[in-house]
């Protein structure tokens, strides 16, 4: 069994972006990410801080808009309109979840698809469905990079995704399909889950339940990617995979923390860089 080191893979990708950013800066363009956070959710605060730190590392500007929990939908949409129109802003990210009185879909719809570095806008979701990855879905694209880092090909492999969320399960299935895997998506209503999982050469766990995937669900030698981030009562992070049990059976496995988490942010940097590059191309071509 080999552990896939998400920290190392993400660092390699961020270093590549850092190098390219230094070159892009010579033409006067510094990629700029606007980060919106609403309210005081402690987990969101940690994620946003990590995203800002990554921006600093690769040489981007980041501008934070911290809004009060009580902000109205119209105020938030007004801010997004201004950021959409601001030619100095390449990417806009609104950290989820939002307070209950704000419709997240309306907010995702409002962010211009060209600046939608989370790829949550329906235009980008539709593009992903048709195999256009101009904006990468961050966590799924990170998963693909982790699989690629093993050197094993995805083509023709049997991949099973457990979880059908819009952010992870569904777009991950699309990326695996695009890479010529045979893909099955499982969820809470799936019958014979264990039997299906045991057929997987590549098993993606995106369930949201600590230790859900046990050794008896895993084929010998499978690549197991754990997307879960579950905080236990002891305050420790645990993945969706019973790491101790599964590690003895898997060919490759990602740890939690240090697996998928850092990759999501690396892919966010990639999207922001690419958005800035498109700005440069527009500026030079008139």
Summarize as ranges the residues that interact with ligand GUN (CB under 6 A).
93-96, 118, 138, 264
Toward ligand GUN, which CB reaches closer, 140 or 249? 140
Q: Taking CB positions, which residue lies at the least distance from ligand GUN?
A: 96
Place of tokens 């197991």: 224
Rounded to whole angstroms, the Cα distance separating 159 from 59 reads 36
Strands (E), 86-148: 91-94
In the complex, what is the shortest distance from the CB of residue 118 to ligand GUN, in angstroms, rounded to a whole number? 5
Toward ligand GUN, which CB reaches closer, 118 or 226? 118
CA 272 to each of CA 4, 42, 59, 177, 229: distance values in angstroms, whole numbers, following the listed order: 25, 25, 11, 25, 24
Toward ligand GUN, which CB reaches closer, 58 or 141? 141
5 is catalytic: no
In the complex, what is the shortest distance from the CB of residue 93 to ligand GUN, in angstroms, rounded to a whole number? 5
Query: Which among 90, 116, 118, 226 is annotated as catalytic?
Result: 118
In the complex, what is the shortest distance from the CB of residue 40 to ligand GUN, in angstroms, rounded to a whole number? 15
* DSSP at 96: S
Residue 78: count other Cβ atoms within 10 Å of its Cβ.
13
51 is catalytic: yes
Toward ligand GUN, which CB reaches closer, 25 or 112? 112
Closest C-alpha among 200, 204, 196 to residue 239:
204
Query: Which among 95, 170, 240, 249 is annotated as catalytic?
Result: 95
Toward ligand GUN, which CB reaches closer, 36 or 213? 36
In the complex, what is the shortest distance from the CB of residue 96 to ligand GUN, in angstroms, rounded to a whole number? 4
118 is catalytic: yes
In the complex, what is the shortest distance from the CB of residue 97 to ligand GUN, in angstroms, rounded to a whole number? 7
Counting other chains too, the contacts that 17-20 makes at CB distance below 8 Å and 24 or more residues apart are 17/58, 17/266, 17/269, 17/270, 17/273, 18/57, 18/58, 18/59, 20/273
What the block records as the tokens of 80 is 């997004």
Closest C-alpha among 118, 95, 113 to residue 166:
118
Place of tokens 């390699």: 12
Beta bridge partners of 32: 61
Catalytically active residues, by annotation:
51, 95, 118
């Amino acid at each position: 069994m080999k552990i896939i080191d998400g920290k190392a893979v993400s660092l390699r990708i961020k270093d590549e972006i850092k190098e390219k950013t230094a070159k892009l800066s010579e033409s006067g363009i510094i990629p700029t990410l606007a980060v919106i956070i609403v309210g005081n959710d402690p987990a969101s605060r940690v994620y946003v801080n990590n995203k800002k730190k990554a921006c600093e590392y690769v040489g981007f500007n980041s501008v934070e808009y911290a809004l009060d929990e009580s902000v109205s939908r119209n105020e938030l949409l007004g801010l997004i309109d201004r950021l959409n129109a601001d030619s100095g802003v390449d990417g806009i990210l609104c950290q989820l979840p939002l307070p209950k009185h704000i419709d997240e879909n309306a907010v995702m719809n409002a962010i211009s698809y060209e600046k939608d570095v989370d790829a949550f806008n329906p235009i980008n979701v539709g593009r992903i469905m048709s195999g256009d990855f101009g904006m990468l879905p961050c966590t799924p694209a990170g998963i693909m990079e982790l699989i690629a880092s093993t050197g094993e090909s995805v083509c023709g492999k049997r991949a099973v995704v457990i979880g059908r969320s819009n952010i992870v399960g569904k777009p991950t299935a699309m990326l695996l399909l695009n890479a010529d895997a045979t893909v099955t998506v499982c969820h809470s209503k799936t019958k014979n889950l264990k039997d299906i999982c045991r057929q997987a050469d590549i098993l993606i766990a995106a369930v949201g339940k600590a230790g859900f995937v046990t050794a008896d669900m895993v084929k010998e030698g499978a690549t197991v990617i754990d997307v879960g981030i579950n905080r236990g009562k002891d305050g420790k992070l645990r993945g969706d995979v019973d790491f101790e049990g599964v590690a003895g059976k898997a060919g490759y496995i990602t740890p939690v923390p240090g697996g998928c988490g850092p990759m999501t942010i690396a892919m966010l940097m990639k999207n922001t860089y690419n958005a800035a590059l498109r700005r440069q191309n527009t500026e030079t071509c008139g």
